[in-house]
Amino acid sequence: MMKKLTAAEALENLIRSIHISLGEIQSGDSADEFAYGEKVAYVECLEILQLWEMAEKYGLDYDVEERFPLG
C-alpha cells in the first residue's frame, strides 16, 4: 500500500512529474499533434497550480508559457 501524502507532498510530486513529462516532450518531435496536445494540457495544469499559495516554494516561480512555449 502506498504511503499517504500531505496535500503539499502530493502537489510537489505532481509538479515534478509534469516538469519531467514536459522536458521529455520538448526533447522529442513536437510536430506530433498528440505530443502538442499533451504539452498544452501540462502547461495549463502548471498555470492552475501556480494559483496555489505555496506554488513559488515548490518551484513554480516562473512564467510557464515562456519556459514551455506553445507556439
Total structural domains in the chain?
1
Angle at 62 between CA 61 and CA 68, to 5 degrees: 140
Domain-embedded: residue 48: yes
Domain-embedded: residue 12: yes
Contact status, residue 71 vs residue 26, Cβ threshold 8 Å = no
Domain-embedded: residue 52: yes
Name which residue leads in pLDDT, 28 or 65: 65
Domain-embedded: residue 1: no
pTM score, whole prediction: 0.87
Indicate the Cα dihedral angle 24, 28, 32, 36, nearest 10°.
40
The arithmetic mean of pLDDT across residues 42-68, rounded, is 96
Domain-embedded: residue 38: yes
Domain-embedded: residue 58: yes
pLDDT of 31 strictly over 90 = no
Domain-embedded: residue 2: no
Domain-embedded: residue 43: yes
Residue 51's alpha-carbon distances to 19, 46, 54, 60, 65, in angstroms, are 17, 9, 8, 10, 15
Residue 64: CB atoms within 10 Å: 20
